[in-house]
Structure 1
Amino acid sequence: MGKGGKCRVLIVEDEAMISMLIEDMVVDLGYEVVGPAARLDHALTLALQAEIDIGMLDINVDGSVVFPVADVLRFRGIPFVFSTGYDARSLPERFRSSLTLSKPFSYNNLETTLRSALEEATCSPEVSRLLG
């Protein structure tokens, strides 16, 4: 958890305008932004080292797939949500049950999906407090 007990959201998105829109939505929801990362190497560094409560991952990041980042987050026990313009059925088998937001998505869809991912992942006292 970040400063002031805010949930920290790693944003991985290579399109600058979409990234700024997601950042604004995340901040409006009362969360703290980690990143954003527009390249796979930066996203991997953050996934490995940053204090993160949840990840918001664009599937195609600057021509690379984001699945190594999702693998790191899963290994660390950190929930994540894929955001994509692709069909969610194109996900590798190991991620087929992952929550996915189809682009474009609304503020309400983002809020509901992030909350669902956090609730499914842990239900720890810290997360329960974050979700109010």
Structure 2
Amino acid sequence: MHHGSAISRSSSQPFAGRSILIVEDEYFLADDLAREFRRRGADVIGPMSDLDEAQALLRSGRNFDAALLDINVREDMVFPVARTLRERNIPFVFTTGYDKGAIRPEFADVPHWEKPIDISSVADFLATKLDEH
């Protein structure tokens, strides 16, 4: 049974009708992430490799459902973006070339994937998280 504009998500398209922000400055990884999320039905915003651009997007009030944040983007730490997402109750995960020690204590509860990233594991996790959200 299908209600009006309800979007049917299938196991192969768990992100149908959902938008995911990707903030990642490593070109090939950003491209792989975007491709995988699109393959699973997501409307990908980005990938953005500039924190000012990401902050401007957040200030614009544009809505999206979840985000993947590289912790270090062009030598800047992504935590201000993470803080804004948290205030808006948008689920996100970190991707990083660092170990857990690089994550500020306030974000200790945020799941993180160390590079090289298992992209399908990140996508599976976010799909589950959005279903619970």
TM-score, normalization: structure 2?
0.81
Aligned to 2:48: 37
- 2:114 maps to 1:102: yes
Of the structure 1 ranges 103-112 and 11-20, higher mean CA displacement relative to structure 2 is found in 103-112
Aligned to 1:6: 17
Secondary structure of 2:44's aligned partner: strand
Give the superposed CA RMSD.
1.6
Bigger share in helix = 1
Aligned to 2:103: 91
Taking a change above 3 Å as real, the CA distance of residues 107 and 15 of structure 1, as seen in their structure-2 partners, is: closer
User: Whose Rg is larger?
Assistant: 2
Cα separation, 2, equivalents of 1:82 and 1:47:
17
- Contact kept, 8 Å, 1:81 with 1:117, in 2: the verdict is no
Structure 2 matches for 1:1-132, cutoff 5 A? 6-49=17-60, 50-120=62-132, 122=133
Q: Which amino acid aligns with 2:52?
A: D
Q: Segments of 4+ in structure 1 off by > 3 A?
A: none
Q: Deviations over 1:97-129 (max 9, x none)?
A: 001122112232122221243245x2xxxxxxx
Taking a change above 3 Å as real, the CA distance of residues 18 and 108 of structure 1, as seen in their structure-2 partners, is: closer
Cα separation, 2, equivalents of 1:108 and 1:14:
19
Secondary structure of 1:97's aligned partner: coil
TM-score, normalization: structure 1?
0.81
What percentage of aligned pairs have identical amino acids?
Answer: 36
How many residues in Structure 1 have an aligned counterpart in Structure 2?
Answer: 118
